[in-house]
């Protein structure tokens, strides 16, 4: 009987060692990300059918949009000046002014036709969205212009 008690005690100790030495893994509850999703912004257009996406675009002084793309001979610059701080459709060239530059030392060329549409002039969050269509600028035609959530500077 003594051997049974020793065997039972040894078995109990072995069981306890195995039971307590097993590593228990728990998965913590996921914590919500306190950072709100980033607001995406951008400015795209086509020049004579070739697509461009701005490297940098913003609006300032409430009624002007500035856009830059590329560098050197491939550089493009757009300046759009529009007459209101509200949503609406504005014809080019009057009252809306659009100037387009290609290259580094090139003189800007003014748009002579087309429309600018402001779809979201957000004064609270300082963001601007809209489109422009069929803008004739010298020998270039700018189409499918879209700007989304441009930040105010």
Q: Is the pLDDT of residue 19 over 50?
A: no
Query: Of 149, 132, 139, 113, which is closest to residue 46 (Cα–Cα)?
Result: 132
- Confidence class for position 23, pLDDT limits 50, 70, 90: low
For position 69, what pLDDT does the model report? 87
High-pLDDT (> 90) share of the chain, %: 46
Distances (CA, A) of 86 to 45, 49, 61, 122: 22, 30, 14, 8
């Amino acid at each position: 009987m003594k051997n049974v008690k020793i065997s039972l005690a040894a078995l109990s100790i072995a069981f306890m060692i195995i039971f307590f030495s097993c590593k228990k893994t728990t998965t913590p509850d996921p914590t919500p990300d306190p950072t709100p999703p980033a607001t995406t912004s951008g400015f795209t257009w086509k020049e004579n059918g070739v697509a461009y996406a701005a490297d940098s675009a913003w609006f300032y002084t409430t009624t002007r949009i500035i856009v830059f793309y590329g560098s050197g001979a491939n550089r493009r610059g757009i300046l759009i000046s529009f007459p209101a701080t509200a949503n609406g459709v504005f014809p080019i060239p009057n009252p809306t002014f659009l100037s387009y530059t290609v290259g580094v030392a090139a003189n800007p060329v003014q748009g002579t036709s087309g429309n600018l549409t402001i779809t979201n002039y957000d004064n609270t969050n300082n963001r601007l969205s809209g489109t422009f269509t069929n803008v004739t600028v010298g020998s270039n035609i700018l189409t499918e212009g879209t700007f989304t959530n441009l930040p105010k500077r």
